[in-house]
Structure 1
Amino acid sequence: MTNDPHALFRAWMAEARASELNDSNAMALATVGADGMPSVRMVLLKGHDERGFVFYTNRESRKAGELAADPQAALLFHWKSLRRQVRIEGPVSLVSDEESDAYFATRSRDSQLGAWASDQSRPLDARATFEARFEEVQARFEGGDVPRPPHWGGYRVTPVRIEFWQDRAHRLHERRVFVRDGDGWQEGLLYP
């Protein structure tokens, strides 16, 4: 049994990739609005290492505005087929332009075009409006590479707390918690 939460996460993620039917990298991202109201939505984990957990989005979206005002977040992975979940809490920082560019280049062309066409989280009068904008962007970049929009990029959640929850019979679950302590981690157990 490892006492390194990143190694444990990698092991659990590998099992989830093999067992989850769709989006084993889906995670709930919780932020807080200016009014103190929590907000949660699903995003996809696109990178993980000892520095943290990375996702990408429109930096003019609601979530981005909330992170700009209060750069802290909580993440939750729930792998139903494995009967496990991982909770992560920590400060959030922007991913470098170079890292954002590299990831953007791996996206499908339509996803790249969609990043240009969408005013994510803003009101939309009709689906046809968005579809027309998508067609305009297609024409704009026809025959060439699609660069990363300046308003689109990555965020990194640097964990200060990671909890691993494993379902057990009769609700006698196992909960391991790791809390950042300087350059290392303090490990403990929680009652189910």
Structure 2
Amino acid sequence: MQGRDQDGDAVDGGSAGSAAADRELLDRIRAAPVLAGPLPHFDPDTAPAAPGPLFADWLDRALADGVPEPQIVTLSTAAADGTPSARVLLLRGLDSADCAFVFAGDSGSGKGQDLAARPVAALTWYWPAHGRQIRMAGPVDVLGEEATRRDYLGRSPAARIAGFTGRTSAPLDGPGEYEREHRAAEALVAAEPGRVPATHTVYRLRAREAEFFQADPARWHLRLRYTRDGDGWTRTLLWP
């Protein structure tokens, strides 16, 4: 069965139905509240000379105000051929004095392979309750064995078991294979509680650029960029 789209072109019934559903979904998205507030005040003129302390201040405020999971961050990387990818993970450490951020992953995963080929990345936080977005970008290095052990062994038993379950990013045959691998991982962690997966890796991103975006319900948004300049930083207000 064919119909006509809004431009008069013939479309089959399935395509027409899908297009109508997409338009209805888009209408609902447009009707959903955005930046309803109240949102925190931010005065760029009083921002510190370096971005690390400002990040720590915003994170502290988010935690104090009960913003859901402010430690969750999006890591963006690029493969050797330039193909970008992004995923969400946990912030594992912070050096606010040097504006450096620690995260962990499997060296054999997509992000591990990307970072081995191109050791540079971006981190993005978005806290809707505060209307705040933070972006950090810079080179990434691998921390040593002690940092790796401390990170892994400091995790919950469930998280350590998950780290030994299967191979990150490898194809999975189905729930049965997952269950078998999980049981084997449980036994391994119980027998060797101090063991760390050989591919578990702790990374550190040292920001070269940092951006802080404060939204405003009236759309008077503020955007402040820091750029590392030798041992210091330069600050620039940007059009949002």
Look up the equivalent residue of 1:118 and give its one-letter code. G
Q: How many angstroms does 1:162 deviate by? A: 0.2
SS of alignment partner, residue 111 of structure 1: helix
SS of alignment partner, residue 202 of structure 2: strand
Partner of 1:176: 224
Instruction: State the aligned residue count.
Output: 192
Stretch deviating more after TM superposition (152-161 or 118-127):
118-127
Identity %: 33
Change (3 A) 1:51 1:166: closer
What is the aligned counterpart of 1:11 among 52, 57, 60? Answer: 57
Q: How many angstroms does 1:18 deviate by? A: 2.5
CA distance in 2, matches of 1:118, 1:21: 33
What is the aligned counterpart of 1:61 among 109, 120, 123? Answer: 109
TM-score where L is the length of structure 2: 0.76
Q: How many angstroms does 1:143 deviate by? A: 4.7
CA offsets per residue over residues 28-82 of structure 1, 9 Å max, x none?
1111123322101101111010261111111110110011001110110001111
Look up the equivalent residue of 2:51 and give its one-letter code. P
Q: How many angstroms does 1:141 deviate by? A: 3.3
Unaligned runs of 5+ in 1: none
Partner of 1:131: 179
Q: 2:138–2:207: 8 Å Cα contact kept in structure 1?
A: yes
CA distance in 2, matches of 1:170, 1:8: 24
SS of alignment partner, residue 101 of structure 2: strand
| Richer in strand (by share) | 1
- Where do 4+ consecutive residues of structure 1 move more than 6 Å? none
SS of alignment partner, residue 218 of structure 2: helix
CA offsets per residue over residues 85-140 of structure 1, 9 Å max, x none?
10001011112111111111110112112111131111111122122111112223
CA distance in 2, matches of 1:154, 1:133: 24
Partner of 1:166: 214
Q: How many angstroms does 1:21 deviate by? A: 4.7
Unaligned runs of 5+ in 2: 1-45
What is the aligned counterpart of 2:147 among 99, 121, 124? Answer: 99
CA distance in 2, matches of 1:118, 1:144: 17
SS of alignment partner, residue 112 of structure 2: helix
TM-score where L is the length of structure 1: 0.94
* RMSD, aligned CA: 1.4
